[in-house]
A and B are shown apart, each in its own frame.
Chain A
Amino acid sequence: MRPPPGHEERRSIVNGNLVVMGVSLLTWAATFFYLLRLERRIKDLEKP
């Protein structure tokens, strides 16, 4: 059985999680704003 992580190891795990969380949030924000822009364009095309 693996021993529980030490102080340094735990800090690097936390930092790694924060990086993954940041990347996930950035990806979601980029996707969302791209979709909003796409919706605006479609709205323009829908105008007769």
Chain B
Amino acid sequence: MSEHELTEDLLSAYVDDELDAGARADVEARLAASSEWQAILDEVRETRDGLRGLPQVDGPPEFWTRIMAGDPLQDDAEKDQVIDLASERRRRRIPRWGIAVAGAAAAAVVVIGVVAVPQPDRVRPAVAVLSNEHAARSSVGNDVISSLASIAVPTRLGR
């Protein structure tokens, strides 16, 4: 007797040739000693053979004509159908009230972001004013900034 438990479901595995040598020997020993197991084996084998003897089934010709008339994914209607099914599944996963709550939450975040969060001060360097002040303080004509003063004012850089 090997390590595995000798259970009845080994009989199906036995007729399907799905047992290793040890288990197979154990089952055969049990079969030799038990008429009950032998009867179950006969029934399992008969059922299995019956299933395997069922004829193949085929679809009606018009079904295959429709299928073979075109690659299913080349058919726009099929594409739409696939997309629609996917959308439907997604809709089913997220209930409508969930979508509404999520939308309201997103809107609230945007509003709070605009209203409550302090905006950085806009820096508007009054370049014209600065250059004019500098020109007034420094000696005329000998530095680079002073020479720009007359140009800087009319260009309205301060606006």
A and B found bound together: no
Q: Show the binding face of B for A, using Cβ within 8 Å.
A: none
